[in-house]
Amino acid sequence: MSGPRVDAKVVMLGKESVGKTSLVERYVHQRFLVGPYQNTIGAAFVAKSVQVRDKVVTLGIWDTAGSERYEAMSRIYYRGAKAAIVCYDLTDSSSFLRAKFWVKELQNCEEHCKIYLCGTKTDLIEADRSARQVDYHDVQDFADEIKAQYFETSSKTGRSVEDLFRKVAADYISTTFEVMSEERGVNLEQKKDPFFYSCCHN
Ligand SMILES: Nc1nc2c(ncn2[C@@H]2O[C@H](COP(=O)(O)OP(=O)(O)OP(=O)(O)O)[C@@H](O)[C@H]2O)c(=O)[nH]1
């Protein structure tokens, strides 16, 4: 991979057992671990570089523990994050309420963090439609309200996992370079402004 390198902190948030770790495992290692569920303690970190057009972005992903016991700790991990992937399990309506809690928290405390809603375990719904507990249109309305992107993924089959992280990387790159060019624009304008010069020389 070649091109300018940028880095973005990404945080995974959501109720315990919604599948945050599995999502990261699928994205970073292209695998789905079967066996007894092991809850995350504190948080885990992993980095992955992605090429988006001529640029490379390294996503530093913090996978937080979903257990409410670790809630205070999760707050440490979203500080300074450029993106938050707020997960809920499509087969568990209570996990969507918990996702809304995290969204409110981010809106209040981390206003520059872009939010991505992620409904997990679509394979379970594909196997049995009646398993769905979170209505697609409810999420759509909520996503519109908070101006967030939303995805429905399966770490088991891999569905939409790559799309989700690719979107995070692409948005980060476009926002970062937009800001940089805006800043450059401001500097040029300032130099052309005679008032600016007289101010500085007095
Ligand atoms: N069928 C199916 N099961 C999944 C999927 N993603 C996760 N799981 C299962 O859900 C359980 C919890 O997954 P984790 O990835 O550990 O969940 P987590 O959100 O990281 O949990 P905490 O660490 O407690 O916050 C495990 O048994 C996973 O195998 C999925 O896409 N499909």
Predicted complex ipTM: 0.99
Atom of ligand 1 at shortest distance to CA of 24?
Answer: 15
Q: Which domains does the chain have, with CATH numbers?
A: 5-199 (3.40.50.300)
Residue 21 CA, ligand 1 centroid: distance in Å: 7
pLDDT digits (tens, 9 = 90+) for 99-129: 999 999 999 999 999 999 999 999 999 999 9
Higher pLDDT, 85 or 73: 85
Pairwise CA distance, residues 33 & 42, whole Å? 20
Report residues whose beta carbon is within 6 angstroms of any ligand 1 atom: 14, 16-22, 37, 39-40, 65-67, 120-121, 123-124, 154-156
pLDDT at 190: 44
Residue 174 CA, ligand 1 centroid: distance in Å: 31
Higher pLDDT, 6 or 121: 121
Structure tokens at 26: 């699928």
Is residue 59 scored above 80 in pLDDT? yes
pLDDT band at 74 (very low <50, low <70, confident <90, very high): confident
pLDDT at 7: 86
pLDDT at 124: 98
pLDDT band at 176 (very low <50, low <70, confident <90, very high): confident
- Burial (0-12, 13-18, 19+ Cβ within 10 Å), 130: exposed
Q: CA-CA distances (angstroms) from residue 156 to 93, 134, 150, 161? A: 20, 19, 19, 10
pTM of structure:
0.88
Q: Which of 13, 16, 17 most suits a substitution to test ligand 1, by most atoms within 8 Å of the C-beta?
A: 17
In DSSP terms, 48 is beta-bridged to 59
* Helix ranges, 5-160 (H): 20-29, 71-78, 93-109, 122-127, 136-146
pLDDT at 149: 96
